[in-house]
Amino acid sequence: MNQSIDAISYNLKNIRESRGLSLEQLAELTGVSKSMLRQIEMGKSSPTITTMWKVANGLRISFTALMAEQDTHTEVQSFKFNKPILAEKGHYRIYPLIPFSPQHSFETYYFEIDPNTTFSGEPHNGSLFEYIFVTQGVLEVIVKDKSHQIKSGEFIKFSADCGHIYRCISETPVTAIMQLSYMS
């Protein structure tokens, strides 16, 4: 298991800290001693398969979640690196940025909507939240018959299980980042 010690150390510490657990609390959950957990987190001990299973079961995560290598790939891209998906006769342009994957349970888009353009979004299935971060202009978002004006530097979050409308109400195009977050 030595090829994954760095990944195991990183993942264990990251999961523990993200859940607000102390080493002592983690030891209670997993049945693995606090000193052993500290050594694993510091990369000074290679855990046995039995120890790994105890940790995974105690945290209620998959065994492989502890061994997943972190993506150290760094990439800089333009918001417009993909061809846009067009709607409203080209007055609403959406550019896929980050596609959905099971590792992160979200997808991200950049979009532009021209002045006086309205786009009606269909309800999404499942537990899905939509976040819209306006970077330029003023976007009217109508959710459940309630209108919200989102200005540059502001964002809106809403459950996307109902129809919703986007409308550019500024004299210049609205540009925004949209993130769809899938809740389990």
pLDDT at 65: 77
What confidence tier does 3 reach under pLDDT thresholds 50, 70, 90?
A: very low
Q: With the CA atoms of 16, 17, 23 and 27 taken in that order, what torsion angle do they form, in degrees rounded to the nearest 10?
A: -20
pLDDT digits (tens, 9 = 90+) for 124-172: 777 889 999 999 999 999 999 999 999 999 999 999 888 899 999 999 9
Q: Which residues make beta-bridge pairs with 82?
A: none
Beta strands in the chain (DSSP E): 85-87, 92-98, 106-113, 118-121, 128-136, 138-143, 146-151, 155-159, 164-168, 174-182
CATH superfamily, domain 85-182, is Jelly Rolls (2.60.120.10)
Does the pLDDT at position 183 exceed 80? no
CATH placement of domain 2-66: 1.10.260.40
pLDDT at 102: 63
Task: Find the mean pLDDT for residues 5-24.
Answer: 89
pLDDT digits (tens, 9 = 90+) for 56-111: 888 888 777 787 776 666 778 777 777 888 888 889 999 888 877 766 788 899 99
Residues of the chain with CATH 1.10.260.40: 2-66
- Count CA within 13 A, CB hemisphere, residue 115: 4
Does the pLDDT at position 1 exceed 70? no
Residues of the chain with CATH 2.60.120.10: 85-182
